[in-house]
Amino acid sequence: MNIILLGPPGSGKGTQAKMIADKYSVRHISTGDILRENVRNNTPLGVEAKKFMDAGQLVPDSLLIDIVKDRLAKPDVQGGYMLDGYPRTIPQAEALDKILPSLKQKIDVVLNIDVPDNELVRRLSGRRMCKCGRSYHVAFNPPKVEGKCDECGGDLYHRDDDKEAAILNRLEVYKQQTQPLIDYFNKQGIIANINGAAEIPKIFEEISATLNKF
């Protein structure tokens, strides 16, 4: 089963992705995590991407398309995967539609997670991340030990793009560049709308009810 997770920044894609990956044995492919790892390791891609990420802007399509093309060809994702944070623009979606047939793959379902803006700001401003990819929230989803990841014990950090100015930018970028994808995938008849303004387990129930059909 191949899944796309669509939704604004802070809608809970990463949080739900961890749970989906465990229950349905699909690989979690987060382009944000891949980019952040490159930034940490100071690779040429990371150096280029950081300028855009810190400002809350999208990294150029050509870089992302190359990342995803490589990742989808790896053996570990052939049993099923979940794309989190890709595609984010129409050109990225069109590129994906070209890549998939050459890999004999298709997307089964796009989970479109909807959350109102004021809730997104509250979630992003309190988010704390681990470099293993898990995210927490200081009030809504705190770790067992303050400042430490439940899963790997790593130190949690506040992302540079989870500060007020970058958050507002990212929400605007989502509306301008990513939201049109809802229409794009609706035309393909593969969208499932998920109410993301609920408690974490409740959202997972709704997602599970959808995925159980595949």
What amino acid positions are annotated as catalytic residues?
A: 13, 88, 127, 159, 170
Residues 6+ apart with CB under 8 A from 123: 10, 12, 115, 137, 140
φ, ψ (nearest 5 deg) of residue 118: -65, -35
Q: Which of 114, 112, 109, 106 is nearest to 211 (CA)?
A: 109
> Residue 192: what are its φ and ψ, rounded to 5°?
-120, 120
Q: Out of 4, 85, 149, 194, name the contact with ligand ADP by CB under 6 A.
A: 85
- In the bound state with ligand ADP, the residue whose beta carbon lies nearer, of 13 and 27, is 13
Give the pair of three-digit tokens for residue 83: 């794309």
In this complex, which beta carbon is closest to Zn ion, that of residue 16 or of residue 178? 16
Task: Give min distance, CB of 154 to Zn ion, in A.
Answer: 4
Distance CA 143, CA 139 (A): 10
Give the interface segment with ligand ADP, choosing from 19-27, 49-57, 93-101, 143-151 (CB under 6 A): 49-57
CB-nearest residue to ligand ADP: 32
Verify binding: residue 133, ligand ADP, rule CB under 6 A.
no
Residue 81 pairs in a beta bridge with 2, 27
Q: Give the one residue of 2, 9, 21, 109 binding ligand ADP; rule: CB under 6 A.
A: 9
Residue nearer to ligand ADP on the CB measure, 2 or 85: 85
The entry of ligand ADP, Zn ion, none that residue 59 binds, CB within 5 to 8 Å by partner kind: ligand ADP
Does position 24 interact with ligand ADP (CB under 6 A)? The reply is no
The item of ligand ADP, Zn ion, none sharing an interface with residue 136, based on CB under 5 to 8 Å by kind, is ligand ADP
* The amino acid at 201: P
Q: Using CB under 6 A as the criterion, which residues of the chain lie in contact with ligand ADP when the complex forms? A: 7, 9-15, 31-32, 35, 52-53, 56-59, 64, 85-86, 88, 92, 123, 126-127, 135-137, 140-141, 161, 170, 199-200, 203
